[in-house]
Structure 1
Amino acid sequence: MAKKMVRASGPSPAAAVLGLARTYGVPVLVSAPLALGAMYAFHRAERFAATHPLFQVSPAPAANRLPPNVQVEGAVHTTVKELRAVFAKDEGRSVFEVPLGERRQELERLQWVKQASLYRVWPNRIEVRLVERTPVAFVELPGGANAMNRARLIDEEGHLLPLEDSRRGSLPVLTGVSEGQRREVRAALVSKMREVLAELGEAGRRISEVDLSDAGNVKIVYPTERRALTLILGKEDWRLRMDTFLYNFDEIREKMPNAVELDLRDPNRIFATRMAKESDGD
């Protein structure tokens, strides 16, 4: 037998009220006009909030400014130009029609933004609170002729960020990072760098560079009075090997004054694997 197809549809508001009336009798019949009136009033209020100028996002006063009723907290590195691009489409629109979920996603796609929270504030304000990414190292990406064009910052999640000169002196250099790596791979390298520095303790604060080009063979750059020394620490016992180097440093400086790279992996001996050229003398 062929099945009959019936289009599914919900009852209209009026039909719903009449259905209640049949179920509960006269009291609901008395309330039906009130329910319909409330629905009409709600629709009018919704329309009023969507169209009245009181609730509209005002136009930005200049190209380098945000709309006056869009207030942003926490934007240190995120530029007004980037923020303006997100909210420009909302100028003249009621704050109640601004899709906050979409704007949050757009903000969190910006380079520096880690997390964004948005709130509507009566009658016509949108508050934005940003949590920006925190750089933990300086990286120089391989390739290209200009070193400055390859310089970046990196955060703990492996996001590459634009270089800021003010940050260069306060962060270690992480070598072994490339743009072609997946972000998760870069994040793992950052985590390894932080693990190395944490294990080295106080000595780790003086280290200017951690080389993880070969993650199984950690190298660090340790500044001294004469020159920066590259120390090969290997894959484990970093603190023990660093302590051995520091304990024997005076003897190393006396016997190997031109050494620029030392291999600390042998528990009984320290080898100079690279020496300074004569033209690089002290």
Structure 2
Amino acid sequence: MRIGLQVPSFSYPDGPQAIGPVFGQIARDADQAGLHSLWVMDHFFQIRGVGEPEEPMLEAYSALSYAAALTERITLGVLVSGVVHRYPAVLVKTVTTLDVLSGGRAWLGIGAAWNEEECRALGIPFPLLAERFERLEETLQITHRMWSGDQSPYEGTHYRLERPLNSLPPLRRPHPPILIGGSGEKKTLRLVAKYADACNFLGGPAELLHKLDVLREHCAREDRPFEEIEKTSTSRLSLDSSVGEIVDGLGQLAELGFDQVIHSLADVRDPRASVALLGQVAEEAGSW
């Protein structure tokens, strides 16, 4: 079982001047603790359930580039990039750059996007859900084309590329893993089966098991080995939990078929405690 860390909030007690040093320390601590992955959200405003829109929020890929310079082993990803936030080829170039500069440690996390409020506020076009999924599939097709070195023109419904050149290519082979976030059974999981290297789910054991069954069915229809896809789940870490309790929960997820659990940072006032706890969990869970 691999252990990841998501940093969803930058509202540190000492204000904006603390964001760089504190986030940098979180990244270094997570790297040294042996965690597998470090993630930030692709939002421009803070989201409901975490805080108020006016709270501090970093641009995702700038933040990960900063973290890459401070770390050596931990993989780096956005959970997940909203498909409407960037042109597909620009997103591929951005993730490629992160991969090259980090020594081959980047992920491409991507999804159909959901936060209409921040998009409207900042002038980002936010089409209806059906079109967002069309754009998501075209983006995945463009991504595979560019990372395979295919420079032939791409003609889609929403995107047209005359020459999808990506030079230089990513270091990670065959390419940075593509993780699709979301658990919609008709569209999202079909795209996972067809294009992705990993998926990310939320929910309790019964719901998670059901989603895996649906994904398995999509893989069968796409003639794709179900085992090829890394199954990840996101969970909120509680500092009140013991290492043993967390490890037991991970064991249950491992029995369901999950490969990685990404824990959302528990306490923005004491992030080092959260990372230290996860380091102990990673050490214990590494025997599986």
TM-score range, shorter chain: under 0.3
Higher relative contact order (CA 8 A, sep 6+): 2
Structure with higher strand content: 1
What TM-score does the superposition give when structure 2 sets the normalisation length? 0.20
What TM-score does the superposition give when structure 1 sets the normalisation length? 0.21
Larger of the two Rg values belongs to structure: 1
